[in-house]
Amino acid sequence: MTRIAILGAGLAGLACARELAARGASVTVFDKGRAAGGRLATRRAEVGGRRLQWDHGAQYLTARGPGFAALLAEAGAQSWGEAGRFVGVPGMSALPRALAAGLDLRVARHVTALAGGPGAWTVQHLDAARVRPGAALPDEAPAEDGPFDAVAITLPPAQAAPLVARPAPGLRARIAEVGIAPCWTVLAGFDTRPDWPETLRPGSGPFAWLARDSGKPGRDGSTECWVIQASPGWSRAHLEAEAAAIGPALLAALPPAPAPIHLQAHRWRYSLVEQPLGESCLWLPEARLGLAGDWCLAGRAEAAFDSGRALAAAILG
């Protein structure tokens, strides 16, 4: 049986893994996160005995193609707001959890290198809790899994680049062409409802999107959980700011609200694709190594799904 390693359990990695597994391949999926999902994510908190939650990555999903529409239905997505918008229930993270069911998924594993070569790749990985963003990797021997006949790398380009540097140096220049904007995202909770619209997408200014997350289907509608996303320009200008300063700064840009009972900021260094690669995936048949992700096509979850499936088709030949 063909053994394939998938790096990344976001939508691209899950779509690739499901397609390969359905065709009889043995797939192993590695992700540094605590669960599958990547940028399809839900954060929870308990405040004063109340359970609050926010989708802090993708806000809603749209399907242009029948394949993605079928997948959303299969994973139990429900419509929200404007026609054609879908969300996971009870949170966005429910979608990737459903898609990961039955896969051999290794979570909390930070992949540090690929060793071996075509037809006999090995994946080296560390306990993700020991790896600090921006710091040198801990000086310890990694765990190793393999051999794998092929490897699918479905990480954002900047995170994929160090992994392809040795086995496929030519790919580094290709993926360096891709541009992805950062996004500071504020998760706010209130006792009483702010006088804000259910959703708002201003065309300019410091914030790009505002939504009442607790108004989505399957959430506790008696809570007031709101998501505020900064614009790409504002996020870039404040990229290295302290997280604690972000919530107050963005709240100050909105009409006055009650004092928040919860205020937290999440920095997405790689959020929405601004300059895609323009190809559905990258596949090196001699190396039996490929890359996929939303960044190949567009800044939408469906693009990640399409790219992951395209890479699976390329691997299967």
Binding interface with ligand FAD (CB under 6 A)? 7-13, 30-33, 38-40, 57-61, 110-111, 154-156, 159, 183, 185, 229, 268, 271-272, 293-294, 299-301, 304
Q: How far is the CB of 192 from ligand FAD (least distance, A)?
A: 26
Q: In terms of CB distance, is 19 or 294 closer to ligand FAD? A: 294
Phi first, then psi, for residue 73 (nearest 5°) are -65, -45
CA distance 224 to 97: 25
Q: How far is the CB of 49 from ligand FAD (least distance, A)?
A: 29
Q: Are 287 and 118 in contact (CB under 8 A)?
A: yes
Cα distances from 183 to residues 119, 144, 187, 243, 266, in angstroms, run 38, 34, 13, 12, 8
Q: In terms of CB distance, is 88 or 189 closer to ligand FAD? A: 88
Q: How far is the CB of 9 from ligand FAD (least distance, A)?
A: 5
Q: In terms of CB distance, is 156 or 167 closer to ligand FAD? A: 156
Sign of CA dihedral 303, 152, 141, 115: negative
Q: In terms of CB distance, is 13 or 260 closer to ligand FAD? A: 13
Q: In terms of CB distance, is 160 or 192 closer to ligand FAD? A: 160
Q: Are 28 and 51 in contact (CB under 8 A)?
A: no
Q: In terms of CB distance, is 191 or 198 closer to ligand FAD? A: 198
Q: How far is the CB of 169 from ligand FAD (least distance, A)?
A: 18
Q: Contacts by 232-241 with C-beta closer than 8 Å and gap 24+? A: 232/181, 232/182, 232/183, 232/208, 232/271, 232/272, 232/274, 234/184, 234/206, 234/207, 235/181, 235/182, 235/183, 235/184, 235/267, 235/271, 236/181, 236/182, 238/184, 239/182, 239/184, 239/267, 239/269
How many other C-beta atoms can be found within 10 angstroms of the C-beta atom of residue 211?
A: 24
2-12 residues labelled b (16+ CB within 10 A) or e (exposed): ebbbbbbbbbb
Q: In terms of CB distance, is 263 or 301 closer to ligand FAD? A: 301
Q: How far is the CB of 128 from ligand FAD (least distance, A)?
A: 7
Q: In terms of CB distance, is 58 or 282 closer to ligand FAD? A: 58
What are the structure tokens assigned to 11, written together?
A: 């939508």
CA distance 280 to 315: 13
